[in-house]
Amino acid sequence: MTWLRLHRHAFADALRRLFAQPVASAFSILVLAVAISLPVLAAVALQSVGSAASSLETDPHVNIFLALDASDEDARRVGEALRSNPEAASVKFISKTQALAELRSTTHLAEVLDSLNGNPLPHAFTVRVRTTDAAKLDAARDAWSKLPKVDQVVADFEWSERLAKWIHFGNTVLATIAIVLGAAVAFIVGHLIRLQVVSRRDEIEVSQLVGATASDVRRPFLYHGLSQGALAGVAAVGLAAGVSLWLGSQLRALTSNYATEFNVIFISPSTCTAVIAVAALLGLAGAWWAVGRELRRFAPVR
């Protein structure tokens, strides 16, 4: 009971201190919120780009062009070889005559094509592949380019691989930023708590003289740091949500002219909770560091 009461008193004391100087508290919480919201916004950006990329990359396929002198018999043999590959989900053959007809109907090149003697287009295959694993794709591409009469193997998903690598790099940058700004949050809270400790020096001294233990003295400051961190976490999530909403509407206006729709995807509720929890813990860590440092400096018993 006594233990619970001590914690309740410490928590009440911390909140009282926080609201005793509402403007100063609001400013420091805002500073912390801005620092925390930066990695949150970076995460939102990465998540949105990643999701947009994956929606484009619905149909990974490889185009295989045969040599111009390849016969129908050559094409049949290549087709068989392609179909027997386990990575090929489906194989579509486009004969040179088919390709020419398509070109004639979809472009205005009919006259140019008529002026040529013969068909300039090769036989081609479009293979939809099952895997997105880079190593397997490379292996399949190698095997197919070695087939007789195959001239070129073009995989048009290379850009998405490259994008995936960039997103991976982005995640690394994000983690680094999060760690640096997290440390900044702990130090800012620590500094604010240190000022509190110094300004309450007399109270701490008298408390210790009448029998407060080190943890009795530490307790309200730890709650102060914890609540400051948690409030900053809530403010940061709110700030990031506001910015994301606004940017999202701007982006939709911009991309409405394009076929694809790009959406800003905000972090999930569980991630929001985690952000607030981590902010609270950083506040706690900062307070712990600061109080420990200051208490050692003016211990009453020598």
Partner 1 sequence: MIQFSSVAKRYEGGLEALRGVSAEIASGEIVAVTGHSGAGKSTLLKLAAGIERASSGTVVVHGQNVGALGETALAMLRRRIGFVFQDHKLLFDRSAFDNVALPLRVSGFAGDEIGRRVRAALDKVGLLAREKAMPVALSGGEQQRLCIARAIVNRPSILIADEPTGNLDADYAKAILELFQSFHRVGVTVLLSTHDEAGVDRLGCRRIALASGTIAP
Given a contact cutoff of 8 angstroms between Cβ atoms, the answer to whether 41 and 244 are in contact is yes
Binding test (CB under 8 A) with partner 1, winner from 114, 211, 256, 259: 211
Nearer to partner 1, 143 or 212 (CB): 212
Q: Applying CB under 8 A, which of residues 183, 212, 241, 278 lies at the interface with partner 1?
A: 212
Residue the block writes with tokens 């620092």:
35
Which one among 90, 203, 254, 298 touches partner 1, defined by CB under 8 A? 203
Report d(CA 223, CA 295) in Å as an integer: 16
Binding flag, residue 216, partner 1 (CB under 8 A): yes
CA dist 96 and 203 (Å) reads 91
Find the binder of partner 1 among 54, 207, 255, 271 (CB under 8 A): 207
Is 108 or 302 the residue whose CB approaches partner 1 more closely?
302
Q: How far is CA 88 from the centre of its chain?
A: 32
Footprint (CB under 8 A) of partner 1, residues 68-127: none
- Name the minimum Å distance from CB 287 to partner 1: 19
Stretch that binds partner 1, among 1-9, 148-156, 242-250, 279-287 (CB under 8 A): 1-9
Q: Does 301 bind partner 1 (CB under 8 A)?
A: yes
Buried b (16+ CB within 10 A) or exposed e, 269-281: eeebeebbebbbb
C-alpha torsion sign, points 14, 15, 19, 24: positive
Q: Which residues of 39-51 are buried (b: 16+ CB within 10 A; e: fewer)?
A: bbbbbbbbbbbbe
Contact string 5-24 vs partner 1 (x = CB under 8 A):
xx--x---------------
Q: 83 vs 201, which CB is nearer to partner 1?
A: 201
Among residues 69, 111, 114, 202, the one that binds partner 1 under rule CB under 8 A: 202
Which of 158, 91, 155 lies closest to 123 in space, CA to CA?
91
Q: Which is nearer to partner 1, 206 or 254 (CB)?
A: 206
- Nearer to partner 1 among residue 16 and residue 146 (C-beta): 16
- What is the distance between the alpha carbons of residues 37 and 235, in angstroms, rounded to a whole number? 8
If one asks whether residue 296 binds partner 1 (CB under 8 A), the answer comes out as no
User: Residue 209 Cβ, how far from partner 1 at the closest point, in Å?
Assistant: 6
DSSP code at position 116: S
Least Cα distance to 63 among 44, 36, 88 occurs for 88
CA gap 184, 190 in Å, rounded: 10
CB of 10 to partner 1, least distance (A): 10
Residues at the interface with partner 1 (CB under 8 A)? 2-3, 5-6, 9, 202-203, 205-214, 216, 300-302
